[in-house]
Structure 1
Amino acid sequence: MSPQTENAIMSRNLAKHTLNGSIVDRRRAMQFALGALAAARFVLLPSGDGVTAQTASGDGDDGTMATGDIVGAGISFSRNARIEMSQSVGHRTAGGADVNGQTRFQAASISKTVNSCAVLMLADVGRLELDRPVNAQLRRWQVPGPFGDTVTPSMLLSHTAGTSVSGFPGYPRDSQVPTLVDILNGAGQVNTMPVVADQSPGQFRYSGGGTSVLQLLVEDVTDQPYASFVQETVFAPLGMTRSTYQAPDRPVTNAANGHYRDRRAVEGGFRLYPELAAAGLWTTPADLCRMSDGILRSLRGHADAVLSRETALRMTSPVVGPSALGIFVSDDGVLFHAGFNAGFVSLLLADPASMTSVAIMVNSEADPNVLAGLFDGVRAPFPFRM
């Protein structure tokens, strides 16, 4: 399946899953978003190792979540910006050390929600403009294509800019990764096509390539490396002490290794994603909850919130179907995003009404239904269910 075919399928699915512009129900909205994200990763993953159907085995005898066919997982639940529950199960690598609450996983595309926070923080202080063409704000590179000059940061955040490259396959752990500009140009030893605005803006077209444009924009307007800026302005204020874009060194210290659908380990333990904003975050379920708690507090207008209330409201207002600015929104207002990297799957949900967040991270290629089974199988006071 080509990326063009995959994008056409996602667009048709979005049309089927909307009714008068609104998503019919949360589960259908989540199925759409999860499917779109899984399709983007499946298309580009080397050797055809894709997401496959697996089944969860139900509750463990001790009331904790059970592993089913996965290797290891962590889940955290927060309410009113306080972590109320964290559970771990399984192993960091098949047959190896146990997962615990400090174990880092690749967050994959949930990196995009963190990126949205960073971009919107810059917009809040006037260092970039959400609705001004991004080419007028970039210094080192320009979005090419027939619609390049119409692309704005808000379009890139909502996947409505018409930019190409749905997802990224990552690079072997022992490889020399390309620069961000080379990735955008599709030049040199890169494994994806150039990022081009070749579709009229306004329609949903999931684009990790567009998120990489925003990574470059953050660097251009701040004169800082992307990772250090996000560390200072997102991770530190939100208390995300286990979050980083630095890949674990050998020997891996309390970081999960990724596994394919047959529990076979990803070569080298994991792949490298220099597309940091789109797929490069290493973190824990608790830190993801802290990030979503920051969004929820911003929506309430708390004095110490990381975003202004106006900006947070815009972030969480759907643009097309469930797609808002760096996050998806169901018809009843639950915020969510999922991630699929080689060997890793994750899911984040947040409910503004009850000020609660849930994050699940798995170090094997579980089907979205497995995530739902893990979520529904945990005995915790969630105010919502998948």
Structure 2
Amino acid sequence: MTDSFLIQRRRFLGAGLMALAAPAIGKMGVQRRTTEELDAYIASEMRRANIPGLALGLAREGTVRFVQAYGYADIQRQRPASTDTMFHIASITKTVTATAVMQLVDDGRLKLDEPVSGYLDFPLENPHHPAVPITFRQLLMHTSSLSDANYYAIDFRQQGRDATLPLASFLKDYLVPGGRTYSAETCFSKAAPGSAWDYSNVGYALLGYLASRIGSQDMREQTRERIFAPLRMRHTSWTISGTPEPLRAIPYDDVDGALAPVEPVGFPDWSAGMLRSSIADFTRFVAASANGGIAERNRIVSARSMAQMLEIKTPPELPDWLTGQGLGWMASQLDAAAMPNHWGGDPGVFTAAYIDSASRAGVAIFTNATASAERRTAVKNIASRMLKSKAP
């Protein structure tokens, strides 16, 4: 596995691919001709981008309208992808973590613009700006000044299994002077908290830890009880070990011009990108996110908090591939419109979710292949097509 995997992480056999595009499960009442046209379109995009397996979901006005799976979850075993296949969704996890934090805002347990230090059992300050507090809003918007520079310099990966390093130990080692991975120069940016955008997995690791402490329960349990259970997300797991082998999407990387399976990767910062979910499950979460926090009569977050999450701002140093940043959700161009979204990437993983706030529609797309220029284009093309039409 190359170091380029780690750099691209969370920043987001060609000969057999004609057969890989056979749809796997349910049309949900869509007219046959329209569905066949969509199936043909997805097959074409998968062939062009060499995507082994793909799962697709569309929601409108709080209701899942379409879910479908294409290709293979496991090429070697000829196991087709299904709408229950659990894909590693990587950094889209951050939208779930942000929702869990906003639930605590709804509960009155925290305020977005207060310092987080009072909720921690260890000291936290940017050594370059010790008098400037770090807030929840800054962590959610990637403006906290917590830097991933040292995170990428150190290999925290564990191949084929969940990380054994506890989240608390990871954070204390990284953020507290004297910690074994602490560096004033590379664990914190020179910019003051709140003054510049700097994408931070460590920041979202800290949010997971904070949510666990404030909610008096591990955030993973909170999300199971307050998000996954109400939305009937039965095939969603925070761990590799909790993902049943028959439901796993095998990740594939490009090696010497062909797709090769790679082991899943475990990281200690689970709240930043370790979630695994099926398209049938996650489209329900997208449905709620696009519909003011409620899907199929189940409210997971208040309308006010959901609106705040999708309120897009433009902090300094925002990269040109983004048009703005919300709380958890980002925004970038899709066709001619700036649209809230989040992408995810890890070894053998590329995923995306988009929200069209005007029509209360959302789309999720999961693939089990490493991101490439062709796959990014294919995913954007599919998202655009799904959001433009009222039916698939």
* Same fold? TM cut 0.5: yes
Are the structure 2 counterparts of residues 233 and 147 from structure 1 closer, same or farther at C-alpha, using a change threshold of 3 Å?
A: farther
Confirm whether residue 120 of structure 1 aligns to residue 102 of structure 2. yes
CA distance in 2, matches of 1:60, 1:179: 40
Give CA-to-partner distance per residue, 1:174-198, whole Å, 9 cap, x none: 57521112322246699xx974364
- Indicate the larger mover: 112-121 or 295-304: 295-304
Matched residue, 2:143: 160
* Partner SS, residue 254 of structure 2: coil
CA distance in 2, matches of 1:236, 1:116: 17
Confirm whether residue 196 of structure 1 aligns to residue 188 of structure 2. yes
Confirm whether residue 93 of structure 1 aligns to residue 74 of structure 2. yes
Matched residue, 2:290: 296
257, 261, 266: which one pairs with 1:265? Answer: 261
* Partner SS, residue 251 of structure 2: coil
CA distance in 2, matches of 1:162, 1:244: 30
206, 216, 225: which one pairs with 1:213? Answer: 206
- Indicate the larger mover: 233-242 or 373-382: 373-382
* Partner SS, residue 353 of structure 1: coil
Matched residue, 2:358: 353
CA distance in 1, matches of 2:353, 2:68: 15
- Indicate the larger mover: 295-304 or 86-95: 295-304
Any residues of structure 2 matched to 1:4-23 within 5 Å, and which?
A: none
Are the structure 2 counterparts of residues 349 and 107 from structure 1 closer, same or farther at C-alpha, using a change threshold of 3 Å?
A: same
CA distance in 2, matches of 1:40, 1:328: 23
For the Cα contact (< 8 Å) 1:72–1:92, is it kept in 2? yes
* Partner SS, residue 344 of structure 2: strand
For the Cα contact (< 8 Å) 2:354–2:383, is it kept in 1? no
For the Cα contact (< 8 Å) 1:161–1:197, is it kept in 2? no
Matched residue, 1:319: 313
Q: What is the CA distance between 1:78 and its match in structure 2?
A: 1.5
Give the letter for the 1:355 counterpart: R
For the Cα contact (< 8 Å) 1:298–1:308, is it kept in 2? yes
- Indicate the larger mover: 121-130 or 301-310: 301-310
Matched residue, 2:64: 83
Q: What is the CA distance between 1:40 and its match in structure 2?
A: 9.4
Matched residue, 1:5: none
Confirm whether residue 151 of structure 1 aligns to residue 134 of structure 2. yes
Q: Paired residues, what number?
A: 334
Give the letter for the 1:222 counterpart: G
Are the structure 2 counterparts of residues 40 and 123 from structure 1 closer, same or farther at C-alpha, using a change threshold of 3 Å?
A: farther
Q: State the superposition RMSD in angstroms.
A: 3.4
Matched residue, 2:223: 230
75, 80, 85: which one pairs with 1:103? Answer: 85
CA distance in 1, matches of 2:87, 2:241: 10
Q: What is the CA distance between 1:252 and its match in structure 2?
A: 1.3
Q: What is the CA distance between 1:103 and its match in structure 2?
A: 0.2
* Partner SS, residue 355 of structure 2: strand
Give CA-to-partner distance per residue, 1:31-81, whole Å, 9 cap, x none: xxxxxxxx9965276xxxx99xxxx99x96954122321221111111222
- Runs of 5+ consecutive residues of structure 1 not aligned to the other structure: 1-38
Are the structure 2 counterparts of residues 330 and 364 from structure 1 closer, same or farther at C-alpha, using a change threshold of 3 Å?
A: closer
Q: TM-score, normalised by structure 2?
A: 0.75
Give the letter for the 1:94 counterpart: I
Are the structure 2 counterparts of residues 153 and 176 from structure 1 closer, same or farther at C-alpha, using a change threshold of 3 Å?
A: closer
Work out the percentage of aligned pairs sharing the same amino acid: 21
Give the strand-richer structure, 1 or 2.
2
Q: What is the CA distance between 1:138 and its match in structure 2?
A: 1.7
Give the letter for the 1:179 counterpart: P
Confirm whether residue 136 of structure 1 aligns to residue 123 of structure 2. no
Are the structure 2 counterparts of residues 384 and 154 from structure 1 closer, same or farther at C-alpha, using a change threshold of 3 Å?
A: farther
Question: Which portions of structure 1, spanning 4 or more consecutive aligned residues, are displaced by more than 6 angstroms?
Answer: 166-169, 299-303
Are the structure 2 counterparts of residues 224 and 144 from structure 1 closer, same or farther at C-alpha, using a change threshold of 3 Å?
A: farther
Any residues of structure 2 matched to 1:3-82 within 5 Å, and which?
A: 42-43=6-7, 63=37, 64=39, 65-66=42-43, 67-68=46-47, 69-82=50-63
CA distance in 1, matches of 2:244, 2:287: 32
Are the structure 2 counterparts of residues 358 and 368 from structure 1 closer, same or farther at C-alpha, using a change threshold of 3 Å?
A: farther
Structure possessing the higher radius of gyration over alpha carbons: 2
Matched residue, 1:382: 387
Q: What is the CA distance between 1:339 and its match in structure 2?
A: 0.2
Give CA-to-partner distance per residue, 1:259-295, whole Å, 9 cap, x none: 11232211xx311133111111001223222112212
232, 239, 256: which one pairs with 1:239? Answer: 232
For the Cα contact (< 8 Å) 2:147–2:202, is it kept in 1? yes
CA distance in 2, matches of 1:88, 1:303: 26
CA distance in 1, matches of 2:295, 2:242: 40
Give CA-to-partner distance per residue, 1:113-145, whole Å, 9 cap, x none: 000000011011111221111112223553553
CA distance in 1, matches of 2:264, 2:364: 21
For the Cα contact (< 8 Å) 2:109–2:214, is it kept in 1? yes
CA distance in 1, matches of 2:295, 2:232: 19
